[in-house]
């Protein structure tokens, strides 16, 4: 079938030889042209790109990701533009979905978002993901904003795409982005609220936890950040407080975050962990149940770790109720955890403990009704 719209792939790259072939090979069936903007590669990046008939441009690196991406976009000639990073790729099922989209696309859409998969479990289930605006109409002239952790500003009519992009990072982590923010600071460049948030993230990732907490607070106090970033800032503050062993502040930070929006599963679990460490299992159980009752936003532009909505609080509830002497309820939550995470080592270990305890107590384990429902735990209290 003839494609209804054409699609340019625009990429900025540097030393991507380890992953670029995988990336370009995964898009070759549906891309009309490939624009490669190289910011100073010293490996075989350009040679690999040339094998896919790419249009290759050199761009002097000026510590500004948006400038490089906007230059790449300026070279596109197709109806629509897709962007990828060098360590991204698309699996076979999603390639077919994109091909179908291009063959049947309503060309009144100005942009299309897609799931961005950042991590999977050993059995292939998505554990960490978010959504990104991934395809845009070229004539709209959308631009990238921000020196680092840039974003593509879009407007108009959007489509929530049913396909995903996989992130398969192989490069080692560096402090490159932190140095860019430090340079911005030295030159007194004005930080947007988004810059403040991602500067704090870089401080956190480079283990400057006290500085990160101050920067997150500065960002929150602007009251101008995206809600997803604000919730992320509260969670990162909590994580930093855990690391620097200043845990007594955690409840205050968590409860402050609830003034902004409903609890995320990650923050609810952090409260559960706080009370569990104090062996206050009743309060801990309350917050783990909140996590299990939570649901990530269906249209999620922020990082979402599905484990905190599923097997992690389930397993922690097993521990809580076991310590509360509610062995049948603990057994229920261990089995609930298994429905999310299969035969995980801790789940199997717990089964051995339950088998021993039920035998010693001379009682039968509860006969669970599958599929398990969270509300069923009440039967076993």
Q: Which one of 167, 201, 228 terminates a domain?
A: 167
- C-alpha distances in Å from residue 11, one per residue of 34, 48, 49, 56, 330: 8, 14, 11, 10, 50
Q: What is the pLDDT of residues 36-91, one digit of tens each?
A: 999 999 999 999 999 999 999 999 999 999 999 999 999 999 999 999 999 999 99
* Local confidence band at 342 (pLDDT 50, 70, 90 cut-offs): confident
Closest-CA residue to 185 (of 148, 233, 150): 148
Domain limits for position 159: 7-167
Closest-CA residue to 98 (of 170, 185, 165): 165
Measured between alpha carbons, how far is 235 from 268 in angstroms, rounded to an integer? 10
What pLDDT is recorded for position 217?
A: 97
- Report yes or no on 57 lying in a domain: yes
Whether the Cβ atoms of residue 122 and residue 148 lie closer than 8 Å to each other: no
Q: What is the pLDDT of residues 147-197, one digit of tens each?
A: 999 999 999 999 999 999 999 877 777 888 999 999 999 999 999 999 999
Q: What is the pLDDT of residues 279-328, one digit of tens each?
A: 999 999 999 999 999 887 655 566 678 899 999 999 999 999 999 999 99
Whether the Cβ atoms of residue 87 and residue 94 lie closer than 8 Å to each other: no
Which CATH number goes with the domain that contains 19? 3.90.550.10
Same domain (yes/no): 334, 351: yes
- Report yes or no on 1 lying in a domain: no
- Report yes or no on 2 lying in a domain: no
Q: Which one of 132, 148, 167 terminates a domain?
A: 167
Query: Facing residues of 33 across strands?
Result: 8
Angle at 355 between CA 349 and CA 358, to 5 degrees: 135
Same domain (yes/no): 288, 247: no
Same domain (yes/no): 101, 159: yes
Angle at 328 between CA 323 and CA 330, to 5 degrees: 45
Same domain (yes/no): 189, 243: yes
In this prediction the pTM is 0.85
């Amino acid at each position: 079938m003839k494609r209804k719209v054409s699609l340019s792939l625009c990429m900025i790259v540097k030393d991507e030889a380890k992953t670029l072939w995988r990336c370009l090979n995964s898009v070759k069936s549906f891309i009309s042209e490939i624009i490669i903007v190289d910011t100073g590669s010293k490996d075989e990046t350009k040679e690999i790109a040339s094998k896919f008939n790419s249009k290759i441009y050199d761009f002097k690196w000026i510590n500004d990701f948006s400038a490089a991406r906007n230059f790449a976009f300026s070279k596109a000639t197709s109806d629509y533009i897709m962007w990828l990073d060098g360590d991204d790729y698309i699996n076979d099922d999603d390639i077919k979905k994109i091909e179908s989209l291009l063959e049947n696309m309503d060309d009144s859409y100005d942009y299309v978002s897609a799931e961005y998969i950042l991590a999977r479990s050993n059995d292939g289930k998505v554990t960490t993901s978010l959504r990104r605006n991934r395809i845009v109409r070229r004539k709209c002239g959308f631009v990238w904003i921000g020196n680092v952790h840039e974003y593509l500003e879009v407007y108009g009519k959007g489509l929530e795409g049913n396909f995903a992009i996989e992130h398969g990072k192989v490069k080692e982590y560096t402090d490159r982005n932190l140095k860019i923010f430090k340079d911005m600071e030295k030159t007194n460049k004005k930080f947007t609220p988004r810059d403040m948030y991602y500067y704090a993230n870089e401080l956190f990732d480079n283990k400057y936890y006290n500085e990160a907490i101050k920067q997150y607070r500065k960002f929150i106090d602007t009251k101008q950040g995206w809600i997803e970033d604000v919730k992320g800032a509260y969670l990162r503050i909590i994580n930093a407080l855990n690391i620097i062993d200043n845990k007594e502040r955690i409840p205050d930070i968590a409860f402050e975050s609830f003034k902004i929006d409903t609890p995320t599963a990650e923050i609810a679990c952090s409260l559960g962990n706080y009370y569990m460490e104090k062996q206050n299992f009743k309060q801990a159980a309350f917050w783990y149940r909140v996590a299990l009752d939570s649901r990530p936003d269906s249209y999620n532009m922020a990082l979402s770790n599905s484990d905190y909505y599923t097997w992690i609080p389930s397993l922690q509830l097993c521990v809580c109720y076991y310590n509360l002497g509610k062995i049948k309820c603990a057994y229920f939550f261990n089995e609930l955890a298994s429905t999310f995470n299969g035969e995980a080592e801790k789940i199997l270990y717990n089964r051995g403990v339950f088998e021993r305890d039920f035998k010693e107590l001379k009682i039968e384990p509860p006969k669970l009704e599958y599929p398990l429902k969270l509300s069923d735990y009440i039967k076993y209290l």
